Structure 1
Amino acid sequence: MINPNLSKRQSESYRCLTQLDASVAEAAKRSGLDSLLIELVKIRVSQLNGCAYCLRMHTRDAIRLGESAERLAVLAAWWESQYFTEQERSALALAEELTEMPVPEPRRWDDGSLTEDQAAAVAWQTVVMNSWNRLAVFSHYPVAP
């Protein structure tokens, strides 16, 4: 079975994705989004995509930034809990919409909690995170204790 490690097979493309990731992170910061909210988006997108490598990395990053175990435990069902702010709920809904690409329905994230720049930052972060997840899952990045 062929499972090429994409980061090694086309290193220039990998470098471009890394540069895009850095650009998107800077735009998110300029938009006023909290770093912890961005980590929640990365974790939720990784949950939806089943990417263990990115889940471990971004969960560790979120904990380092002060995220609680309780919020991380309910992130997969964020809409059923009262742990998340309106802005976080909007960002998570937007990230899910972009990741799952459902049949068009009312935009449950578009409630005024995010500015246009913040919505664009979350959207770009989701696009990049989906790319990282697909790269890691396809390449079978090792995830061991």
Structure 2
Amino acid sequence: MTMKQRINIKRLEPKAYEVLYAMEKYLSATDLSIQLRELIKVRVSQINKCAFCIEMHTKDARKEGETEQRLYALSAWEESPLFTDEEKAVLAMVEEITKIFEHGVSDRTFQNIQNYFTDNQIAQIIIAINQMNFWNRIAVSTKMFHP
């Protein structure tokens, strides 16, 4: 099956991409580790079924020292002993924010993440999750793919 990209938003709206890249630069300067940011990107992309971003960010995660085993287990993180309680708190936020249409973010999930992160870090996590959701929605809606 040959895929054809519908439109190229980066080419059509370069100023919008400038804003997205500026947000990426901001996120790289936050308190969140690169490993945690990559876990967020991969899990959001799995939920959104964004093949383009899954391919990109699993490669990036491996470059940053993430293991194949943890990447394979990421879709079942709740049941996996490979993730810390802190990572699981973040991944619960990933699930609920990415699927916000289902029931929002529960008080339990929000209170749990407060056990591990400051309010500023929680804000950074929320921004990182939503940034990745934005990227996924561009890629999925335009049928972006790696040649």
2:87 is aligned with 1:88:
yes
Q: For residues 74-100 of structure 1, what are the alpha-carbon distances to aligned partners after superposition, in whole Å with 9 as ceiling and x for unaligned?
A: 100100111101111111111111110
Q: Which amino acid letter does the alignment assign opposite residue 103 of structure 1?
A: H
1:58-69 superposed matches below 5 A: 58-69=57-68
Alignment-derived partner of residue 142 in structure 1: 145
Q: For residues 81-120 of structure 1, what are the alpha-carbon distances to aligned partners after superposition, in whole Å with 9 as ceiling and x for unaligned?
A: 1110111111111111111003243432532022212211
Alignment-derived partner of residue 111 in structure 2: 110
Per the normalisation by structure 2, the TM-score is 0.87
Alignment-derived partner of residue 17 in structure 2: 14
Alignment-derived partner of residue 73 in structure 2: 74
Per the normalisation by structure 1, the TM-score is 0.88
Q: How many residues align?
A: 140
CA contact (8 A) 2:43 2:74 kept: yes
What SS is found at the alignment partner of 2:116? coil
CA contact (8 A) 1:45 1:99 kept: yes
What SS is found at the alignment partner of 1:107? helix
Structure 2 residue runs of 5 or longer lacking an equivalent are: none
Distance 1:23 1:65 in 2: 18
